[in-house]
Amino acid sequence: MNATDSPKLYGSIAEIRAANKAAGDHWFEKDTLRFFDGIVPEDQEVVHGRFFVSSEQFNSDSPRLHTLRHVNAAGGIDTVGHFQQFETFDDARAALSQALAGGVTVRQIDEGPDADPTNYHWQVHLGDLPIDTRRAKREAEANAAELSAVLASEAPSHSAGDYEIEDSEPESWVCERNVLGEILRFEWTGGIYIEVSCPPAGPQEVINVTDDVTGSPRLERTQQAFEREVDEWIDCYGPEQLRHDVVEQWADRPR
């Protein structure tokens, strides 16, 4: 970041969602958050225009824990500290306050005093909390300088606006297909997976529709493109194998 540049700061989670989407990232998409049952309270204050708290739960038998997050200069979302490090929202915010008091540093993580500065041996820290992943020294120092500029800037006023989903985009795309006498249900919420189920059982199999280059879904967000992908997958997978994997594994369950 040049000395004359002002860092981008955010006044609400809604603004962060929009910036993340504009950057081509998918952190806030339903499919991403659903992986760990992620929740981001919409009405929370964005600290210093960049920091917020999320919560996640591995499964119904696990506790819901909290994670500190940071919006980086590119609009991506970094973890501050460790994933699910905090028991409560207030614990996470208290840890952030303490970390902010400690300032920004770049720390060498391993490989001794003569570590290769072009390799991933350095990490930005806020207080004692690491941010993001290990970086080459020059990149870590650039990220630290940008974060220092953020903390020296005046954060915008809090504006707890709701994130608005585009009216033209449905909640999900759904279709059913008869596979050797069993009706299978396919559902896509626009993420990188199409879920497959055999009602009344819940989703079991998934179709990965990731673009290997961009990491984003390679399908057009249309019903036609979704159904075409489903039909191609059934043809490629094979109806016999599909019936075995998706249907017969539920044979002993009440139907």
Q: Is the pLDDT of residue 3 over 60?
A: no
Alpha-carbon torsion 30, 33, 39, 43, what sign? negative
pTM exceeds 0.75 for this model: no
Mean local confidence (pLDDT), 133-152: 94
Contacts of 88 (CB under 8 A, 6+ apart): 66
Q: Is the pLDDT of residue 53 over 90?
A: yes
Q: Which helix (H) or strand (E) holds 195?
A: strand 193-197
pLDDT attached to residue 149 = 95
Three-point CA angle 81, 86, 89, nearest 5°: 115
pLDDT attached to residue 2 = 53
Q: Is the pLDDT of residue 195 over 80?
A: yes
Query: Omega of the bond prior to 200 within 30 degrees of 0, cis?
Result: yes
Task: Please report, as a single letter, which amino acid is at residue 113.
Answer: P
pLDDT attached to residue 124 = 96
Q: Which two tokens stand for residue 87?
A: 């028991």
Provide the pLDDT confidence category of residue 147 given band limits of 50, 70 and 90: very high
Q: Is the pLDDT of residue 166 over 60?
A: no
pLDDT attached to residue 97 = 96
Using a 10 angstrom Cβ sphere, with 0-12 exposed, 13-18 middle and 19 or more buried, the burial of residue 107 is middle
Q: Which two tokens stand for residue 75?
A: 């609009």
Q: Are 97 and 103 in contact (CB under 8 A)?
A: no
pLDDT attached to residue 65 = 92
Residues, the chain: 255
Q: Is the pLDDT of residue 29 over 90?
A: no
Which of these, 193, 198, 188, 185, lies nearest to 226 by C-alpha position?
Answer: 188
